[in-house]
Chain A
Amino acid sequence: NAGVTQTPKFRVLKTGQSMTLLCAQDMNHEYMYWYRQDPGMGLRLIHYSVGEGTTAKGEVPDGYNVSRLKKQNFLLGLESAAPSQTSVYFCASSYSQGVLVRYGYTFGSGTRLTVV
């Protein structure tokens, strides 16, 4: 089925460890996004990409890095995990800007990350 796939679905890290979250979409979307969701905070944009080879910072980028080497994949990296990064992470994709507002986002099912 077409959509956005996130791996892994769950992960527990120790403080200081690193990891990479993978997001893959098969809808040929130009734009991809990483959000984190915390209770009472809604969704906050971490980083986003408007095309292959491009990335940009969102609202809460500190402690994260991203890469978009292929159009269909968007990777989120944590170089040195901290307990404050315990959250649920969502990837989303969309068409380019002019079309975005007519169709919205397609979301992945999320990655639940716990940093102890």
Chain B
Amino acid sequence: AQSVTQLDSHVSVSEGTPVLLRCNYSSSYSPSLFWYVQHPNKGLQLLLKYTSAATLVKGINGFEAEFKKSETSFHLTKPSAHMSDAAEYFCVVGSVVGGSQGNLIFGKGTKLSVKP
């Protein structure tokens, strides 16, 4: 069985400070992990993905995430927040064998607020 837990429902940072959005997963098999971003009143956009290559994954807009198997984590980070980063972020897990229904499992989302 697979599951994903986003540890914070809401994170607030000041512009120019680091961003950390936390995600833990559970998977019986070697997982693939994704982060999606949703800006207000918009659809979901793929930010980055881990698929068993390098454990440090770089995405769009300066975001990156590190896959840590020992900690079953895939936290999303950015060195310096920008006002345009304010959005909701979803951590997603999937695996080839476990995903027998052919879908991915979504976390409940973390809303990021950026203060000027």
Contact = CB atoms under 8 A, between A and B. Distances in A.
Interface string A88-116: 00101010111011111101111000000
Nearest to A44: B106
Interface string B1-40: 0000000010000000000000000000000101010000
Judged by DSSP, the binding face of A is: mixed
Nearest to B31: A101
Interface size class of A (residues with CB under 8 A): 20 to 34
A82 interface: no
B55 interface: no
Contacts of B108: 40-42
Given A40-B9, A110-B43, A96 B51 contact: no
Judged by DSSP, the binding face of B is: loop
B90 interface: yes
Nearest to A103: B49
Given A101-B51, A107-B44, A42 B109 contact: yes
19 contacts: A31-B102, A31-B103, A42-B90, A42-B106, A43-B90, A48-B102, A50-B102, A56-B101, A58-B103, A97-B100, A97-B102, A101-B95, A104-B34, A104-B92, A104-B104, A105-B44, A105-B46, A107-B44, A108-B43
Interface of A: 31, 33, 40-43, 45, 48, 50, 56, 58, 90, 92, 94, 96-98, 100-105, 107-110
